[in-house]
Amino acid sequence: MKTLIFIFLASTSFAALPPLAQSVREYKALLADPQFYASFKSADQVKEILRTERGFLVLTQNSAMHVDIHYKEAMTPGFMGPAQFELEFSPPVSLN
C-alpha cells in the first residue's frame, strides 16, 4: 500500500499544471520582475494588465507596454511539470 501511495504521489508531482495555475505563475513572474518596475515612472499607476495571444499588455495612465512570453522546451524529454518561460519587455509607448 505504501508503495502505491508513493508511486501515485511521485507521478502527480510531474503532472502538467492546469491552465489557471500556469496563468497565475505567469502573472506572478510579471509582477515580480524588476524590469517591470524599471519600465515605468514611479508615479505611474497600473490601470490594467490584459492577457494577449503573445503575453501581456500593461496599461498605465500614461503609457502602454507589451510583454511577450517565450516558452522554453522541457530540459528532460517527457517531463510534464510547469511550463518554463521567459518574459521579454518591449519599451513603453506614451499614450499622451
Q: What angle do CA 78, 83, 86 make, to 5 degrees?
A: 130
Whole-model pTM: value is: 0.75
Report the distance separating Cα 74 and Cα 83, nearest Å: 8
Q: What is the pLDDT of residue 2?
A: 53
How far is residue 82's CA from residue 29's CA, in Å, rounded to a whole number? 13
Among the listed residues 51, 47, 44, 15, the one whose alpha carbon sits nearest the alpha carbon of residue 30: 51
C-alpha cell at 96: 499622451
3-state secondary structure of 78: coil
Average pLDDT over every residue of 62-90 = 88
Of 75 and 39, more confident: 39
